[in-house]
Amino acid sequence: MNVGNLFPIGTVVTVKDANKSMMIIGVLPENDGKRYDYIAVLYPEGYLTEKQIYLFNHDDVVKVEYLGYMNAEYQVFRQDLEQIMKEVDAEKK
């Protein structure tokens, strides 16, 4: 996954095999040793319980319904994240 392609927080998407839209609330979460591209909650409900949090990858997105906010601060975050992920991937080799 190219970090530069990650959707920003607040993006609302439709995901394969999902009955409802989801809003991205975080990027690159890990669960049971596996890294995902996104963590999301149902839209428009938002966070209700920890059992209603969804993990998925960029390839699972079939439609972007709303693109989240991106400003200069987000661009810096994305650049920093890209560097961090390169270092993490290099350590795994």
**63-90 confidence digits (pLDDT tens):** 999 999 999 999 999 889 888 888 877 7
Q: What is the CATH number of domain 3-92?
A: 2.40.10
Q: pLDDT digits over 42-70, tens only?
A: 999 999 999 999 999 999 999 999 999 99
Instruction: Report which of 68, 81, 73, 70 is spatially closest to residue 24, judged by C-alpha positions.
Output: 68
Q: What is the pLDDT of residue 71?
A: 94
Q: Answer for the pair 26, 39: CB distance below 8 angstroms, yes or no.
A: yes
Instruction: Report d(CA 83, CA 66) in Å as an integer.
Output: 27
- Domain boundaries, given as residue ranges, for the chain: 3-92
Specify whether the CB–CB gap between 61 and 48 falls below 8 A.
no
Q: pTM score, two decimals?
A: 0.87
The pLDDT, as a whole number, for residue 1 is 59
pLDDT at 38: 97
